[in-house]
Chains A and B, each alone.
Chain A
Amino acid sequence: DGGITQSPKYLFRKEGQNVTLSCEQNLNHDAMYWYRQDPGQGLRLIYYSQIVNDFQKGDIAEGYSVSREKKESFPLTVTSAQKNPTAFYLCASSIVSTGMPEQYFGPGTRLTVT
């Protein structure tokens, strides 16, 4: 089955700790994305990557970091500098070509920081 996997589904951390969220895809998609979802706020873009070893900041990149060492993997680290990290995090991927702009989403990771 092709798809996007995110693990774990629920994650709990103490304030001041860095935490890394996993995202893996076997769709052979070029681009990968991280979004943050808060109640009543829709989804906001954190980082995206169109090619291995390259990534760009989205609208709310402060306090987050990413890497793209492999085409199928795009982990997100929530650092202690992120002031309000508790949220639902969604990873997505897409084909980088004209005519196929839609993104496919993973099941999400709910992070709670106390």
Chain B
Amino acid sequence: AQSVTQLDSQVPVFEEAPVELRCNYSSSVSVYLFWYVQYPNQGLQLLLKYLSGSTLVKGINGFEAEFNKSQTSFHLRKPSVHISDTAEYFCAVSEGGGADGLTFGKGTHLIIQP
């Protein structure tokens, strides 16, 4: 069975500083990987996805993530954060064709301090 671990429940960062949100997964087969963002009392919005090919994927709002198969990681990064990036971030994994539902990590709350 697949699982996702987000190592930090909360990450405080000063505005304009870089940030990395960590995600590790476990799976016995090849996977698809996703990062979603959730603003308070809203649904989830897809930030970026890794399906195959280049291990560095770029997403919306200046975020990028790197797939590392040997370390089973998919960490999310942004070189300079803005106050509007304050939100909950979820890493998710899907095995096989992806139609059976996603397995989510517990989320990381990114707090941007002025």
Contacts and interface: CB of A to CB of B under 8 A. Distances in A.
A interface bracket (residues with beta carbon within 8 Å of B): 20 to 34
Contacts of A35: 104
A43 B42 contact: no
B99 A101 contact: yes
A4 B97 CA distance: 22
A48 B101 contact: yes
A79 to B, nearest CB: 21
Contacts of A56: 100
Interface residues of B, number: 27
B90 A43 contact: yes
Contacts, number: 67
B24 interface: no
Interface stretch (A12-20, A65-73, A104-112): A104-112
Contacts of B100: 48, 56
A96 B90 CA distance: 22
A58 B1 CA distance: 13
A106 B44 CA distance: 8
Interface of B: 4, 9, 32, 34, 36, 41-46, 49, 51, 90, 92, 94, 97-107
6 contacts: A42-B104, A43-B90, A48-B99, A50-B99, A102-B49, A106-B43
Interface of A: 4, 6, 30-31, 33, 35, 40-45, 48, 50, 56, 58, 90, 92, 94, 96, 98-108, 110
